[in-house]
Chains A and B, each alone.
Chain A
Amino acid sequence: MNWLLWSMLGLLAMFIGMMFVSQRYAWRFAGTVTLLSVSAIFLLPFFWLVCAAFKDKDALNEYTFLPPVSHWVSGYKPEVSTPASLERAQRGDLNFDNFTELFTTRQTSQGPVRFERYICNSLFLASTGTTLTLIFSSLGGYALAKYRFKGRGFIVAFMLASLTIPGVLLLPPNYLIIYQLGWMDSYKALLIPGAVSVFGIFLFRQAISGVPDDIIEAGRIDGCGEFKIYLTLVMPLVRPIIGAFCLVSFLGSWNSFLGPDIFLQSQDKLPLPNVLNQYIGEYAAQYGVFLAGTLIAIIPPAILFFALQREFVAGLTQGAVKG
């Protein structure tokens, strides 16, 4: 028996006890405990990741989470004195070696490349991609929501149908198209084909159709141009959906691997997932370095998520009426 089983038994006993007092509270208790344990299980890998990123490469696979406290700092006394263990004790089981290694300038076929470069690549790709998609998708959504014109029904039906075509089908032909356009090994290959998202157009169409027509009409009477109406009157009213869409779009672009893997060749143009994956390729098994990089790679999406959290949930609540 271990602590996990004991505590589960204890909780079960509490639940049964509460059943005698009040069934409603017992079930409420069970629900809260379930949510608590699920949350804990879901957060555990993050804690593990933080530990792993700072663990020495020899200690990485030796402890599930953290090494014993006495081994944390450098210069501890190892149990057995072999050259390897003495050297490791000199480093300490917790150190910054993974990060130092990560930020060491590496020689590549494109000359020396610093790790900061890859972070900038990823930031550039994700933010530019998100901005482009946001502008073009919301413009499309606005046009479909607030203008009556011939062919609108057909366009909507066509978009819905196109949603069901998996992106993978387009990959082989787009590879050749990108090649013929001369966009190979260029960010254009990643940014331009994805600059409009049908999903985004629908999200915005849904949200913008909830904006009262009076506001738009009032803008027209005041002499606003159509684009200005979109930008200054409509967009501020659908802020939640902007937040939600930005987050989803940023995540997709920040974490994408297949596209950059196929379209980019120069080492100094690669984004983070592709570069980090090289640390555990066929010729290397630097898991610690990879995990340190992962920890860094999680930070920007996490910041964005915390900043947009309220919008994200509200936006999806609005958008959820679709389907």
Chain B
Amino acid sequence: MSAGLMTGTSAIPTAPASDARSWWQIKQRLTPWLFLSPYFILTCVFFIYPVFYALVLAFFQTNGVASRKFIGLNNFTTILADRDFWTAMKNTTVFAIFSTCLQLPISLGLAMLLNRRGSRLKGIFRLAIFSPHLVGQVFVGVMFTMFFTPKYGLFNQFLQMLLGWVQGPHAESFLEYRWLGNENLVMPAIIIATMWMYVGFNMIYFLAALQNVDQSLIEAARIDGANSWQQFLNVTLPAIKPVATFVVVMSTIGSYNLFELPYTLLQGFGPNNSGMTVVGYMYSNGFSGGDIGYGAAVGWILTLVILSINLVQLKLSGTGKE
């Protein structure tokens, strides 16, 4: 359909009188701007302005909303010298790596299993695996606090049944594992809890992408003698690449924004801040501490980290934006 039709310049059988027509044209031209105006207004007030405001704030020390004082780069030097910040950064990065390298392949695998033709229970499986996403992070956090309690916790029980026989008779039983009290087990606990919540969500995206893969291509590859692995690598994967890139980028951003789940899971930040995320660090120093400027500086560091990771990801995947 031509652009001319869209802007109303083409001759329409019932052409109105000339000044009425030019009014109609103006209206046509204004309509998209009118439709986009809520976006423009809200973006200016709550996006563009805050982004620059955050940049300014990062150089100030603020005392809540009451007062502020210019302190130059002090916020940044304090943050970068703070051991808690590096703990938070390390935790969040570990989390992001695991959620990309462990959770996404599992999601893709499940999506591929679901995508096979003729599986009758498909709808039910899809429903079951997606359903955890209906539960909010706060609720998941507290539920998993209880799953990870020693002895009667669901997860410990399950682990004991599954792997109890591996351990020698003198080893500590899995039932006694205090996941949330042990520095080294806190991050695995967070990763497991988020897996329950997000595997199904990402699976839906992959499933949608897989359903759009041209089956005749796979058929052709099969006839040419490609085995399942080669079919996957050379046909399926390139076909779902745009969606896969999107999911990877979004999951990275989401991982670095993690806060609510670990915060409620641990009712704080865990032993030795072992479960503190960058947003958690911002929350405790910026909002609870009342120094919004400090929070803004943390926000900018986090943004730069995320942006550079995303750039590398987009470079690696070879897709430009969109």
Contacts and interface: CB of A to CB of B under 8 A. Distances in A.
B257 to A, nearest CB: 6
Contacts, number: 285
A298 B134 contact: yes
Determine chain A's interface SS by DSSP, over half rule: helix
Given A171-B295, A316-B204, A160 B46 contact: no
A282 B268 CA distance: 10
A43 interface: yes
B303 A323 contact: no
Interface string A116-160: 000000000000000000001001101110111100100101001
A32 B116 CA distance: 10
Interface residues of B, number: 107
B222 interface: no
Of A46, A136, A166, A169, most B-chain CB atoms within 10 Å? A169
B181 interface: no
Interface string B22-40: 0000011101110110110
A251 B131 CA distance: 12
A169 B39 contact: no
Of A28, A147, A297, A321, most B-chain CB atoms within 10 Å? A147
B287 A262 contact: yes
A313 B152 CA distance: 37
23 contacts: A31-B119, A35-B119, A42-B132, A44-B154, A48-B154, A140-B38, A164-B310, A169-B51, A170-B50, A170-B51, A171-B282, A172-B287, A176-B57, A176-B65, A176-B292, A226-B31, A251-B136, A254-B136, A273-B136, A277-B264, A313-B208, A317-B211, A320-B208
Given A46-B131, A61-B146, A172-B286, 17 more contacts: A2-B161, A5-B165, A42-B128, A45-B154, A45-B196, A164-B253, A165-B51, A169-B50, A171-B286, A213-B6, A255-B135, A255-B138, A273-B136, A281-B267, A287-B142, A323-B242, A323-B322
Interface of B: 1, 3, 5-8, 12-14, 27-29, 31-33, 35-36, 38-39, 42-43, 45-47, 49-51, 53-54, 57, 65, 110, 113-114, 116, 119, 121, 124-129, 131-139, 142-143, 146-147, 149, 152-154, 157, 161-162, 164-165, 196, 199-200, 204-205, 207-209, 211-212, 242-243, 245-246, 249, 253, 256-257, 259-260, 264, 267, 278-279, 282-283, 286-287, 292-293, 295-296, 299-300, 302-303, 306-307, 310, 319, 321-322
